[in-house]
Structure 1
Amino acid sequence: MYQIGDRVKFMNAVGGGIITKIVGKNMVHVENEDGFEIPVMTSEIIMDEIDQEAVTNSDKKPDVSDFIRQGMKKPKTEDRKVKVEEPITIIRGNDEPKFYLAFLPENARNPLDGQTKIYLVNDSNFFILYHYSHFANEQYVTQEAGKLEPNTKLLLGTLSQADIAGLPAFAFQMMFYRDKSPKLEKPLRKRITINPVKFYKSGSFKQSDFFSGKVMLYKLNESEMEKALKELTDKDVKQAAREKEPARAPQPVKVELPELLEVDLHMHELIDDTAGLSNKDMLDIQMKTFREKMEEAISSNAVKKVVFIHGLGNGVLKTELRRELSTKYKKYAHQDASFQEYGYGATMVIIRR
């Protein structure tokens, strides 16, 4: 296990440096010989052999080669008085604050095949003072805090397949500013809850201006136009629509179910608050929804397939759902849904009449 202050070498690049921060189980920040901090996976570094040898042979009589090696070492972080900073990038006209949370998979075609990196993207000429936390079990747990320069992105951490199955909510507090500005900006608070099913669908990841690979983006702040539209009441919207469009007779609306019906059985999709509910209570709600949707699909002439998204979890919901399909609905065949679209967390039922 690495510790702050350890001297390490890069396995896939020349050089190395000193660990200045532990981000998580799989990532650290390393300050290289030029004074820049670089986020690095722990699988891509090794301990500096010179330092290890110095510890092992502390009682050994010094040799001329030892003094040569010691002379070649760079000074430790705490001994550096001057640190060279990268120039700040200011893009002309990019003066509207635009901040994003980004998820970049190693393999966009199969996002669960490998790690998914989490980034904070600053697409503006603003400096950001940020606080990043996870929200779970009614608690905000700090993950990182710091400063992000204009028109840059920051690696916050990584997600494994096991992490995706139990995602927390991602929370941010931000103050942002420019060196010169005609006004003061209001602080930003944002909490984002992401349905894990999105990580199972390759279509959730799209090309962007920030990464070479496909990425899933969530905007953290609203533009002035978006804020203005949000402040419009339903009455304002209807009035504007009446003024813009000529009067016409209302058309009867006929609701038809699609051939493929998707039903997400995750609790946060079924009810707003699970406080006070036992595991059995939640399972009863999920199974009630399952039966209602099955009856709805069976009575419809349009639906040919139903996909129930139950996730991985501990397998209780999947087991109960398939037990009932094999008894009460044994007339209808069922199987694992497409891995490409849903991963391992969904069951497809074929509605044959």
Structure 2
Amino acid sequence: MVKIGDRVRFLNDVGGGVVTSFVNKTTVNVEGEDGFEIPYPVSQLVNLSEVERVEKGIEPEPAPERITENVKNIPEPQQAEGMKLAGKTSPDFYFCFVPDDSKNPLTGETRLVLVNDSNFTLLYYYSHYRDEKYELVKFGSVQPNSKVNLESIEQNDLTDLPDFVFQLLYFQDNEKELHQSVAKKFKVSPVKFYKEKSFQPNVFFRKNAMVLQITPNVLAVELDKLTDDDLQKVVKSKEKAEAPQTPFMKKSAEVVEVDLHIQELLDDASGLSNREMLEIQLEKVESEMNEAIRSHVKRIVFIHGLGQGVLKQEVTRLLKSKFPKYYFQDASFKEYGYGATMVILRKG
């Protein structure tokens, strides 16, 4: 028997933590040392608090008497539904590698985490594929907009990494149609764990992580379903909508400003994952750079804002790799704060 506040260890898995709440009669939420809550069956927990009391010879506390007088229609506790966020319609699921120290990933453990970045309830089957066989590692469910630890690996494990395999089924209550299951296999090169740049800032963890997308780009899948006539209609409507727009806002003949905030680039970004939005922003940077170079613009300023600094880092990486001959720096602090990067395309 466990209660909120008890320290527990997983019976058939590595790890443990503190019981924070009851999901239902047979399942509790356990918060680990990393701060994540994991739903876990009570039958598969070892109550460390009870073990310590026995070792110290402390008598267990008597169970409180149940008071039944004047108590009517007390509802049974319901299973937590998870957190659903407005505007999320896309089934976005991610496989993440989170090292203890992202600057030196080999010094400690790396946690493998399944992230459900959607309003769907997710059923998962996670396995290793090695020697033409699938070996089950873990299966279960993940509530909307939450995550679950799958396992941990260390440096010794890198010499023989398996393929990581997922089979997923996702759903919501009162849906009008069923969704196809998702199957995905990842082959991760051990070399990635020797490179600090493999682990980047992200929206899911306070630590840097390697984030791999499990589900395909939903917009691309829907596009494949369109007929040729549908595509022609989309192209024509897009041309009409974009005709009056200028590619960027000109501050003067010498300086061009490009606002990379996603609401400035798209009328509606709902349904896009963070990674998809980042790809759109970086495509904008590259296209505007090419246009500015062709137009002999003197300077171009990319307004990315502060945020968590992810977009700024990716813009910097793109400029270094694809436009190495051009010098860039933080734009005027007085005018933009720390939220913009200026590229000098020509001097004079």
**Superposition TM-score, scaled by structure 2 size:** 0.50
Cα distance in 2, alignment partners of residues 32 and 182 from structure 1: 35
Aligned position for 1:204: 198
The 1:197–1:83 alpha-carbon spacing in structure 2 relative to 1, beyond 3 Å, is farther
Of the three residues 47, 59, 62, the one matched with 1:71 is: 62
30 and 165 in structure 1: CA distance in 2 versus 1, 3 angstrom threshold: farther
- Residue of structure 2 equivalent to 1:16: 6
Once the two structures are superposed, residues 263-284 of structure 1 have per-residue CA deviations (whole angstroms, 9 ceiling, x without a partner) of xxxxxxxxxxxxxxxxxxxxxx
Task: Please give the alpha-carbon distance, in whole angstroms, between the structure 2 residues aligned to 1:189 and 1:49.
Answer: 40
Deviation at 1:157?
1.3
- Distance in 2, matches of 1:21 and 1:183, equals 38
Structure 1 letter corresponding to 2:205: F
Deviation of residue 166 (structure 1)?
1.6
Q: Matches of 1:49 and 1:89 in 2, distance apart?
A: 30
Call closer, same or farther: CA 1:116–1:20 in 2, change over 3 Å.
closer
Partner of 2:148: 154
**Aligned match for 2:30, one of 34, 38, 58:** 38
Percent of residue pairs bearing the same amino acid type: 27
8 Å CA contact 1:21–1:29 kept in 2: the answer is no
- Deviation of 1:165 (Å): 2.3
2:229 counterpart residue number: none
1:218 is matched with which residue?
212
- Number of residues of Structure 1 aligned to a counterpart in Structure 2: 202
Using a 3 Å threshold, how does the CA distance of structure 1 residues 192 and 231 change in structure 2: closer, same or farther? farther
Amino acid at match of 1:51: V
Gaps of 5+ in 2: 34-44, 65-74, 227-348
Query: Quick one: distance in 2 between partners of 1:231 and 1:138?
Result: 34
Amino acid at match of 1:147: S
CA distance, structure 2, for counterparts of residue 46 and residue 149 of structure 1: 24
Q: 2:199, 2:209 within 8 Å by CA — same for their partners in 1?
A: yes
Counterpart selection for 2:132 from 113, 138, 144: 138
CA positional deviation for 1:226 = 3.1
| Compared CA separation, residues 83 and 196, structure 1 to 2 (3 A) | farther
Deviation at 1:128, TM superposition (A): 0.9
Work out whether residues 17 and 33 of structure 1, in 8 Å CA contact, stay in contact via their aligned partners in 2. Answer: no
**1:240-280: CA deviation from partner (whole Å, max 9, x where unpaired):** xxxxxxxxxxxxxxxxxxxxxxxxxxxxxxxxxxxxxxxxx
* Residue type of the alignment partner of 2:160: G
> Tell me, which stretches of 5 or more residues in structure 1 are unaligned?
9-13, 58-64, 74-80, 233-353
C-alpha spacing 1:29/1:229, structure 2 compared with 1 (3 Å): farther
Give 1:52 shift: 5.4
Query: Using a 3 Å threshold, how does the CA distance of structure 1 residues 50 and 92 change in structure 2: closer, same or farther?
Result: closer
Q: Distance in 1 between matches of 2:46 and 2:174?
A: 44
Aligned counterpart for 2:110 among listed residues 112, 116, 126: 116
Match of 1:88 in 2: 82
The C-alpha deviation readout for 1:108-129, integer Å capped at 9, x for no partner, is 1111111111100011111111
Write the distance in 1 (CA, Å) between the matches of 2:50 and 2:182.
Answer: 47
The structure-2 alpha-carbon separation of the partners of 1:152 and 1:48, relative to structure 1 and needing over 3 Å to count, comes to closer
Match of 1:112, SS state, is: helix
State the Cα distance separating 1:51 from its structure 2 match.
3.2
Query: Is 1:163 the equivalent of 2:157?
Result: yes
The structure whose Rg is larger is: 1
Q: Contact between 1:16 and 1:33, CA under 8 Å: does it hold in 2?
A: no
Q: Secondary structure at the match of 2:193?
A: helix
- The TM-score, its normalising length taken from structure 1, stands at 0.49
Matched residue SS, 1:88:
coil
| Residue identity in the other structure for 1:70 | E
Structure-2 residue corresponding to 1:97: 91
Shift of 1:15: 3.5
The residue number in structure 1 matching 2:337 is none
Q: Which residue of 1 aligns with 2:301?
A: none
Q: Residues 22 and 29 of structure 2 are in contact (CA less than 8 Å); yes or no, is this contact kept in structure 1?
A: no
Question: Which of 171, 183, 189 pairs up with 1:195?
Answer: 189
Provide closer, same or farther for how the CA distance between residues 48 and 228 of structure 1 changes in structure 2, counting only shifts above 3 A: closer
Letter in 2 for 1:106: D
Contact 1:18–1:30 (8 Å) recurs in 2: yes
